[in-house]
Amino acid sequence: MQRKKTGILSGILLFAVMAAYGQSGWEKTKEELIVDHAPFQQCHASTIVEYQKGKLMAAWFGGSHEGGKDVVIWASVLGKNGWSAPQTVADGIVNDTLRYPCWNPVLFMDKAQVLHLFYKVGPNPREWWGMTKISADGGTTWSATERLPDGILGPIKNKPVQLADGSILAPSSTESSRGWRAHLEHSADGGRSWQFIPIDTAGSYDVIQPSILQYADGRMQVLCRSKQGHVMQAWSDDKGLHWGQLSATTLLNPNSGTDAVTLRDGWQLIVYNPDIPGKQWYNGRAKLNVAVSKDGNTWNDVAILENGTREEYSYPAVIQTRDGKIHITYTYDRKNIKHVVLEHN
């Protein structure tokens, strides 16, 4: 009988701990703008990576305006004296007379300590193509740029994950007149070749820009931007090789990018705009929240990053560094990239 009471008490304690983790104890310990003197008029779509222990790099696209031919990929590293002045790390120059804008960089450090930069080049998101380059010295020098194979775009906005067997899953998507579709791209050889993995091709939802989450029982979940007013999800039971149907989560989505990460303690965390589409596209991007979940179904907001009215705070990127801290970057009203650090007490 005593054992039964102990089990009940343990269950109550566990529930209390979960409730506390999912509702309070999160603190914003740092927030800063990355760029002091912007060498561009507008910027968007940041990405962040811990390329060495305690060393961070961020990248984004910037130029005169989104889609302008002068838009290139910029990068900055965080040092003892703050973020370095941004440097161009990729452009869309084809030859002396032909140039295209760059889009949506994604930084990813694999288990072999190779730093990957993925990005897109092309006139628009319906016609762009995937590009990549790598660095073996933490971004000090980069390889020549390579174009990804036809039909492969690379991670479209959010970071890949690397599985226990070494294979890489890149979350990707396409935009066309036939609709928006999310998919994954799988590489078993460190990114030299890729396999296309569809997600719910028969579904009616318009979804792009997935994030990948992993669970202790082996399941995987993608969370996607959508045109349907909610973050959409799909699940896999075989390490991401096959996926079930898309369905709506409880998280609102004003047709704006999100990013999510599996924390080392097994919890899931997402950064998202907690709104639905308004009369103006930016109405849904003025507020930016952080939510956590233990099971991927019940989500609780734990932090408010921005609470604006007409500004744009959007396209977050999120990672957990080796010291356990949560680092988030996002578009700061198209004028800068903001960096925020969260810690759980």
pLDDT grade, residue 12 (50/70/90)? very low
CA-nearest of 307, 329, 301, 326 to 316 is 329
**d(C-alpha 144, C-alpha 307), whole Å:** 42
pLDDT of residue 178: 87
Whether 3 is covered by a domain: the verdict is: no
The CATH code of the domain that includes 270 is: 2.120.10.10
Would you say residue 21 lies in a domain? no
CA distance 159 to 318: 9
Q: Cβ contacts of residue 7 below 8 Å, gap of 6+?
A: none
Q: CB atoms < 10 A from the CB of 335, how many?
A: 16
Q: 337 - beta bridge partners?
A: 331
Q: How many domains does the chain have?
A: 1
The answer to whether residue 223 sits within a structural domain is yes
Instruction: Give pLDDT, residue 278.
Output: 64
Q: With respect to residue 162, please indicate whether it lies within any of the assigned structural domains.
A: yes
16 by Cβ neighbours in 10 Å (0-12 / 13-18 / 19+) ranks as exposed
- Band (pLDDT 50/70/90 cuts) for residue 20 is low
Mean pLDDT of the chain: 93
What is d(CA 124, CA 134) in angstroms, rounded to the nearest whole number? 24
Q: Closest Cα to residue 56, out of 344, 314, 337?
A: 337
What is the band of 286 on the pLDDT scale with cuts at 50, 70, 90?
A: very high
The pLDDT-based confidence of 310 (bands split at 50, 70, 90) is confident
Is residue 7 domain-resident? no
Mean pLDDT of 147-159: 97
Give the pLDDT score at 280.
Answer: 54
Q: Is residue 8 part of a domain?
A: no
For residue 11, being part of any structural domain is answered with no
Q: Which helix (H) or strand (E) holds 207?
A: strand 207-214
What band does 9 get if pLDDT is binned at 50, 70 and 90?
A: very low
Q: Is residue 6 part of a domain?
A: no
Residue count of the chain: 345
| Domain enclosing residue 337, as ranges | 26-344
Quickly count: other Cβ atoms within 10 Å of residue 138's Cβ. Answer: 15
